[in-house]
Chain A
Amino acid sequence: MSTTKTSVKQQRAALRKAARNNKLLRSENRAAYILLIPSIIGLIFLTYVPLVEVLGLSLFDWRGVGTPNFVGLGNYIRLFTKDPYFVDSIKVTIFYSILAVFGSIIYSFIVALLLNRKIPARGFFRALFYLPYVLPAMAVYLGWNWLYETNYGLFNYLLSLIGVDKVMFIASKDMVVPSLALIAIWLSGNLIVIFLAGLQNVPRVYQEAAEIDGANAWNRFWNITVPCMTPIIFYNLIMSLVTNLQVVTPALALTNGGPGNSSRFISYVMYQYAFKDGKFSYACAISFVLFLLIAAFSSLLFLSSSSWVYSEGGND
């Protein structure tokens, strides 16, 4: 009998505690919602409303002034059937993104591995590799323009010293995208910093255990460092992919989309139609297709991540 009484008391106490916790939880939730309001408002007005408006406007023919005429999917149909730039611009953008993303990831990872070792003047080298990322974009591209210039550029001058014919780095259809991707790789100092932070968190205990077991440097790198770094590699991949699919600066600063149309990226075509030709609704259609393209590539990466990204905390 007394046991039952005690049990009931305990249950009541537990219930009271739960109610208290629940109250606390609710009050915490309330605070969280209130504090989230500014971000939610920002997100709605700066991201979702423009996104919906872009989608809406892309269904009209509107050239900046006057009344928009509803054309349904006309802009999208024209993009894929008649537009002189668009289909090629998708190919060029994807080609550039693949070169720039994989190039940047491999380059930054190697540099980060080197900078993670105890080398002399490590701080100086870390600053040196990060520096390109903080330089003003226009200055960077103008500088590279002089390096790549066909008639009197530094690279061609150096090549002429060893008897090699002129190379049209940004002047030839085949060379321009790899040449621009090289600049993007050189600019990827931010990825190096993130990789470095990740490398410093690879548990030393695994390395030491493997060393005791007789694993050589390559085995330790491949079986411990790389798996531990996969979440960081995934993060860098996704950020780099989203950035590079939206590429426009090198085309604006260096090539004007040329030679021919070989560096006319999707964002450049969008800019050209909207701001040079005043075809705003048509540019909205391009913008929405670019959004879908980025979403598709990002989804593919996320779907593939479960098979190659290792997380110590499981996959929650």
Chain B
Amino acid sequence: MKKLIALLLCASMALGMAACTSSGKQDPTDAPATDAPATDGPATDAPDGEKVEITYSYWGTPDEAASVQEVADKYNAENPGVHVTVMAIPNEEYVTKLNTMAVAKELPDCGIMNEGGVLDFAAKGLLADISSMYEGADSMPLDSITFKSEGQPVAYSAANEILFLYYNKDMFDAAGVEYPSATEPMTWDEFVNTAKLLTLDANGNNATSADFDANSIVQYGCNVDNWTWQLEVWALSNGGRWFSEDGKECTINSPEVAESIQKVADLYLVDHVAPYRPGLEDSGIQSTIAAGNVAMATGGTWNVGTCMNTAEFEYGVARLPVMKNEVTICTGGPQVVFSQSKHPQEAMDFIKWYMQEENSWDSLIATGIWMPILEEYYTDEALTHKWVDNPNFPAYEEFKPAVVDYAMEKAVSTCWYYIPHTNEFIEYLRGILGPVWTGEQTAADVLADGYETLNSIFLDN
């Protein structure tokens, strides 16, 4: 009997093992990253007459996914041999899901990618070569939004997003304070002073008044988003850098960086002009200026289309205040082809088509969620008008100098365009900065204590 049971168990184990064995897909790392066929190569291994199925992954809500599927359907109609299906993954789970799918060798054919993971995915051989995408094109994507590994382009952002300042015109009018200029940015001190005039307690006193009660604030003057990656802009503004320009050294322990972070923290801790924010989530705009309790807030261009276009007050836009240098940072998730795709050529054709501004115009550009990536939209005034003159945007004469020109003149790449492991780096930085926002530690102390670990993450030790 025991033998019978043992036999039965062994048989079921063997069956289970067989069932668990992978279906034998090719390991992406077995193939070099450059194995995508050339643009004019044979298109597909699908049998004749059958449609090539392409899956495109996208982060966003089901509503956003529906609008992206509409764009894909347009492509499907124009290309009868291909069918693109949009796979919507909630933004906060996006990296997790892609990492898991990569292990299961079930990555989609193509998709948008989170910026911090691009160079790591490229290093693992999970991205197909797309260097031929803009061969011979008249207008190239901006250099500042091209991901580079050892100087070579590995991905292009699908949109150009920069950080700037939003302000609530109604609150400025009520306080009798002049609007920020669209062309001349405020100095940091001017910004703090303006914020004080706009911070009100329950009795209507502003933060410059002797009777001001910091425990009963009903309206804050400003919110400088402390969502970790956005803090890099203040380091640059204060004359510091997180990493050396050539990307070979981590320089986040410089006094300029610590001072820049402390200035942001002091808006809440010392000046009482900003709400407390723990820097744990990407909701700086939604829970401050868009919620109607803050007069000025820093945010990204995508916020024009994700929440500010439905604001119940008139808002304006201005350049970021300046600590020492006038600067902003740009970013944008790139469209990539995953090397596990069986149809890399069709996938690249689709994303190239999708990245052309006219094809994502109604759903993403005109709504204010994406800014165009081709240089001509910034330099050719007719094209700029075509993009900005629509009800989703603030007035052209304000938006052009404060955002469009700002993006061309002052925007530099966020560090993830040329530094690997930034997801891990920023996660650790976010953790150690927690006590800075509550005032339990200074930025200088936490950066001095945390530098060794930050540097070892940077070096991947």
Contacts and interface: CB of A to CB of B under 8 A. Distances in A.
Nearest to B424: A277
Contact of A64 (B103, B428, B430, B437): B103
B103 A65 contact: yes
Nearest to B99: A278
A84 B278 contact: no
Contact of A171 (B96, B120, B438): B438
B8 interface: yes
Q: Is the interface of B mostly helix, strand, loop or mixed?
A: helix
A256 B96 contact: no
B62 interface: no
Interface stretch (A38-46, A234-242, A284-292): A38-46
Contacts of B428: 84
Contacts of B431: 85, 257-258, 260-261, 264
A65 B126 contact: yes
Nearest to B446: A260
B458 to A, nearest CB: 13
B276 A275 contact: no
Interface string B12-38: 110010000000000111000000000
A219 interface: no
B210 interface: no
Interface string B422-436: 011001101111110
Nearest to A44: B13
A114 B81 CA distance: 70
Contact of A260 (B124, B125, B435): B435
Contact of B434 (A64, A66, A85, A262): A262
Given A65-B125, A166-B215, A276-B99, A171 B16 contact: no
B278 A277 contact: no
A298 interface: no
B281 A259 contact: no
Interface residues of A, number: 43
B103 A259 contact: no
Contacts of B423: 276-277
Given A172-B440, A256-B281, A275-B99, A66 B29 contact: yes
A62 to B, nearest CB: 9
B102 interface: yes
B427 A171 contact: no
Given A33-B1, A173-B438, A64 B432 contact: no
A165 B215 contact: yes
Given A260-B431, A260-B435, A37 B12 contact: yes
B434 A173 contact: yes
Contacts of A30: 1
Candidate in A30, A172, A256 with the most chain B CB atoms within 10 angstroms:
A256
B280 A256 contact: yes
B276 A168 contact: yes
Contacts, number: 112
Contacts of A44: 9, 13
B280 A151 contact: no
Contacts of A26: 1
Interface in A235-288: 255-262, 264, 272, 274-278, 280
A88 to B, nearest CB: 10
B272 to A, nearest CB: 12
Interface in A145-193: 150-152, 160, 165-166, 168, 171-173
B283 to A, nearest CB: 11
A30 B2 CA distance: 9
A204 interface: no
A78 to B, nearest CB: 10
Given A261-B434, A276-B96, A276-B99, A37 B215 contact: no
Contacts of A172: 438, 440
Contacts of A166: 215
B8 to A, nearest CB: 6
A82 interface: yes
Contacts of B427: 272, 276-277
Contacts of A85: 431
Interface in B397-432: 423-424, 427-428, 430-432
Secondary structure at chain A's binding surface: helix, strand, loop or mixed?
Answer: loop
A30 B348 CA distance: 61
B435 A278 contact: no
A45 B20 CA distance: 10
A126 interface: no
Nearest to A30: B1
A33 to B, nearest CB: 5
Contacts of A151: 275-276
Nearest to A62: B103
Given A168-B276, A256-B281, A64 B99 contact: yes
B453 interface: yes
A63 interface: yes
Contacts of A278: 99, 102-103, 120, 124
B174 interface: no
Given A65-B27, A65-B28, A173-B440, A276 B95 contact: yes
| Residue of A29, A65, A274, A276 with highest tally of chain B CB at under 10 A | A65
Nearest to A279: B424
Interface in B273-290: 275-276, 278-281
B261 to A, nearest CB: 14
Interface string B123-140: 011100000000000000
B382 interface: no
Interface in A14-35: 26, 29-30, 33
Contacts of B77: none
B276 A260 contact: no
A258 B278 contact: yes
B5 interface: yes
B310 interface: no
Contacts of B96: 275-276
A193 to B, nearest CB: 33
Of listed B5, B103, B293, B434, residue having the most chain A CB within 10 A: B434
Contacts of B152: none
B2 to A, nearest CB: 9
B456 interface: yes
A274 to B, nearest CB: 8
A280 B103 contact: yes
A37 B453 CA distance: 50
25 contacts: A26-B1, A30-B1, A33-B5, A37-B8, A37-B9, A37-B12, A41-B9, A45-B13, A64-B99, A66-B29, A66-B125, A150-B276, A152-B293, A160-B215, A165-B215, A168-B276, A255-B280, A258-B278, A258-B279, A258-B280, A258-B434, A259-B437, A274-B99, A276-B424, A277-B423
**8 shortest interchain CB distances as A-B pairs:** A259-B434, A260-B434, A275-B96, A64-B103, A66-B29, A256-B280, A84-B453, A261-B431
Given A45-B13, A255-B280, A277-B427, 10 more contacts: A33-B5, A37-B8, A65-B27, A66-B29, A66-B125, A84-B450, A172-B438, A173-B440, A259-B437, A275-B100
